[in-house]
Structure 1
Amino acid sequence: MAVQIITIEDLNEFRSLLLNDIKEIIQSKPQQTKQWLKSNEVRKLLNISSSTLQNLRINGTLTYTKVGGIMYYDKADIEKLLHGNKVNAIPTLFK
């Protein structure tokens, strides 16, 4: 059996090749985003309480789908809500 010696340069080259391969895999894989979010995910995303989320449901501001006691929210509806309530800031002058 022949003995092979691995040098630090060999290890660094292997490391570089491995990192490049991993980067290619990550970049080529399309990012999948969830279409349906659960209540806790929506609360974290919008930084709101359970009661605020309930009020958004009750007054029809945010639509939802209920399946087996779990409420799901369409991410597109949340984005529409955020874009629909966008406020243009008017700069104020300090005197």
Structure 2
Amino acid sequence: MEVYILSKAQFSELTTRLDTLQNLISTQPDNSKKAIMDNDEFLKFMGISKRTAQSWRDEGKISFSQVGNKIYYKMADVDKLLAENYNKSFRK
């Protein structure tokens, strides 16, 4: 086991940096909450109209859940839609 000796100033700087890191981590959005988005978030994210989203659902292009009048999408399904319609650049 190695032992390191820090001066008071070094220890203070280290704890300040750790506090800064902890604050940065705590202010980051929790991505697990974004695993599902509602229809309005989906429309904004994709930059499409309500009618386009309805067409994609009717055509089976995107999976969704409906609870009452509210529509929800899994982020994994949105990623799948984008991956299935991905076109590589024609240039090399």
Normalised TM-score (structure 1):
0.67
Residue 77 of structure 1: aligned partner: 77
Residue 52 of structure 2: aligned partner: 52
**Sequence identity of aligned pairs in percent?**
28
Q: CA deviation at 1:24?
A: 2.1
Q: Unpaired runs of 5+ in structure 1?
A: 1-16
Q: CA deviation at 1:25?
A: 2.8
SS in 2 for 1:78: helix
Q: CA deviation at 1:50?
A: 0.7
Q: Distance in 2 between matches of 1:55 and 1:88?
A: 25
| Paired positions, count | 78
Q: CA deviation at 1:52?
A: 0.5
More helix by percentage: 2
SS in 1 for 2:54: helix
Q: CA deviation at 1:90?
A: 0.9
Normalised TM-score (structure 2):
0.69
Aligned CA RMSD, in angstroms, stands at 2.9
Structure exhibiting the larger radius of gyration computed from Cα positions: 1
Q: Are residues 1:21 and 2:12 paired?
A: no
Q: Unpaired runs of 5+ in structure 2?
A: 1-15
User: Residues 30-49 of structure 1: matches in 2 within 5 Å?
Assistant: 31-33=29-31, 34-49=34-49
Q: CA deviation at 1:43?
A: 0.6
